[in-house]
Amino acid sequence: MKHIGHWIGGKGADGTSGRNGPVYNPATGAQAAEVAFASEGEVDQAVAAAKAALADWASSSLATRTAVLFRFRELLNAHRDEIASLITAEHGKVHSDALGELARGIEIVEVACGIPQLLKGELSTQVSSRIDVSAIRQPVGVVAGITPFNFPAMVPMWMFPLAIACGNTFVLKPSEKDPSPALRIAELLAEAGLPDGVFNVVNGDKTAVDRLLTHPDVKAVSFVGSTPIAQYVHATGTQHGKRVQALGGAKNHMLVLPDADLDAAADAAVSAAYGSAGERCMAVSAVVAVGATGDELVEKIRERAAKIRIGPGDDPASEMGPLITKQHRDKVASYVEGAAAQGAEVVLDGTGFTVDGHADGHWIGISLLDKVDTGSDAYRDEIFGPVLVVVRTESYDDGVRLINESPWGNGTAIFTRDGGAARRFQLEAEAGMVGVNVPIPVPVGYHSFGGWKDSLFGDHHIYGEEGVRFYTRAKVVTTRWPDPSDSGVDLGFPTSR
């Protein structure tokens, strides 16, 4: 059985805790590897390696840091297919989708290559007589990143490129379900010339996470995962004096007004609901159909969804792969199985679906639930699978009320030809990311990603300029070079006049 260990101080390290977890190939259902679960002591080793590397890296020139990041970008591009295959093997998503995830991760590396521009300070000259004030930003220290299974390459790349570009050192705790892409990335960073200890990977479970959250030498924590764990990570990390940004789960609504181009809206809903088998935090999981065009919209979604080709992620003919684990597949299926009893019309039922020759894969087909009751489980929970729920409303106002009553506020979208309605929606929707005729409005790398309400705990969104702020501490320097001729004692409070 292949053993997946850690990456500490610039080299691979076998796990020594004696605790391991299974890594599956979701398309076959077979266990492909075992991953080491770090002990507290192993986490301490990784943090110690990051701490030892900190002083030199934090004081390295911006040119040194960007040279590494430019080389890293080239290596990522050269190894795209290989990394995408690692993602597909352990996550299950189709190869083209894995390439897309990687491309969005590389986008953040490219932004990090521009760190000299982003870290330029501010200077005010002559704020008072012969006094200048400058504002600079310095690294926070050792940063930990804790990431979910659904983007094993991209989500770590939302974090560490900017963290290390800002002069911090980093310890990543990837998802134990698909740990291999992170370790390959660690090797490529080393090949790019990153000094040992600047980037470390510890694999594991709650034991590793808890040690990172309480370790006195970890100064900041970036977390992405489900809402209950995000809330826990934020509470525990801040209790231990750390800066924490914790991004949580989602139930993203797409509001379709009667004047929308219904074909375009149906294309968008199907792509955003079923892409990556719905295992995306920005998936559209609820369509809110306004008015009398609802029937036509649902029919257009049904036609398109029924044609999706499901199969192993490494088969170029597949458009959608399996789910991450059997347990998750069964949980997703339970929402579809219980839907009719809770009042929904089951338009497409994906339960019981399998792929020939891959009977033990974690398969589920496409499900579409119409006229879903907003009190039902399928509406209220984040299902995180290929299940799209449709809610009917009579008006724009009812639709927005529904969106704003959701406990989550990650992304939302409006489909309409009415510019006035779209403009109102931008201002009224309580979500951190809004799409206008765009179903998955994941911001580009030089803007920042983050939700509202139960989709984000902490103040800072991730990557972009907010990422730079999160990974740096502000310092303001007030300077005077006095002229001996006008120096004198003055006990008054200094003012600038």
Q: Are 445 and 242 in contact (CB under 8 A)?
A: no
Residue in 74, 162, 19, 78 with CA at minimum distance from that of residue 461:
162
Q: Give the nearest distance from C-beta 282 to ligand NAD in angstroms.
A: 7
Of 28 and 147, which CB lies nearer to ligand NAD in the complex structure? Answer: 147
Determine the 3-state secondary structure of 342 from DSSP: helix
Q: Give the nearest distance from C-beta 144 to ligand NAD in angstroms.
A: 11
CA distance 265 to 290: 12
Of 164 and 247, which CB lies nearer to ligand NAD in the complex structure? Answer: 247
Residue carrying the six token digits 């974690």: 362
Q: Give the nearest distance from C-beta 51 to ligand NAD in angstroms.
A: 22
Q: Give the nearest distance from C-beta 111 to ligand NAD in angstroms.
A: 17
Q: Give the nearest distance from C-beta 442 to ligand NAD in angstroms.
A: 9
Q: Are 270 and 366 in contact (CB under 8 A)?
A: no
CA distance 379 to 391: 9
Residue carrying the six token digits 């649902």: 298
Residue in 69, 70, 101 with CA at minimum distance from that of residue 85:
101
Q: Give the nearest distance from C-beta 411 to ligand NAD in angstroms.
A: 9
Of 225 and 322, which CB lies nearer to ligand NAD in the complex structure? Answer: 225
CA distance 309 to 306: 9
Q: Give the nearest distance from C-beta 294 to ligand NAD in angstroms.
A: 27
Please give the C-alpha separations between residue 104 and each of 144, 156, 390, 445, in angstroms, as whole numbers. 21, 11, 29, 8
Of 278 and 311, which CB lies nearer to ligand NAD in the complex structure? Answer: 278
Q: Which of 155, 166, 281, 348 is catalytic?
A: 281
Of 39 and 416, which CB lies nearer to ligand NAD in the complex structure? Answer: 39
Q: Give the nearest distance from C-beta 435 to ligand NAD in angstroms.
A: 15
Please give the C-alpha separations between residue 429 and each of 227, 293, 408, 438, in angstroms, as whole numbers. 20, 22, 12, 15
Q: Are 177 and 23 in contact (CB under 8 A)?
A: yes
**273-277-283-286 Cα dihedral, nearest 10 degrees:** 40
Q: Which two tokens stand for residue 28?
A: 């076959």
Nearest-CB residue for ligand NAD: 225
Site of interaction with ligand NAD (CB under 6 A): 146-151, 155, 173, 175-176, 205-206, 209, 224-226, 229, 247-250, 281, 382, 384, 410, 451, 455
Please give the C-alpha separations between residue 171 and each of 6, 160, 497, in angstroms, as whole numbers. 11, 9, 48
Of 262 and 286, which CB lies nearer to ligand NAD in the complex structure? Answer: 286
Q: Give the nearest distance from C-beta 212 to ligand NAD in angstroms.
A: 9
Please, which residues bridge with residue 255 across strands?
Answer: 288, 414
* Residue 256 burial (C-beta neighbours within 10 Å; 0-12, 13-18, 19+): buried
Q: Is 166 designated active site? A: no
Q: Which two tokens stand for residue 121?
A: 């300070």
Q: Are 203 and 6 in contact (CB under 8 A)?
A: yes
208 Cβ partners below 8 Å, 6+ apart?
37, 38, 42, 43, 173, 202
CA distance 165 to 59: 11
Give the Cβ contact number of residue 407 at 10 Å.
13
Catalytic residues: 281
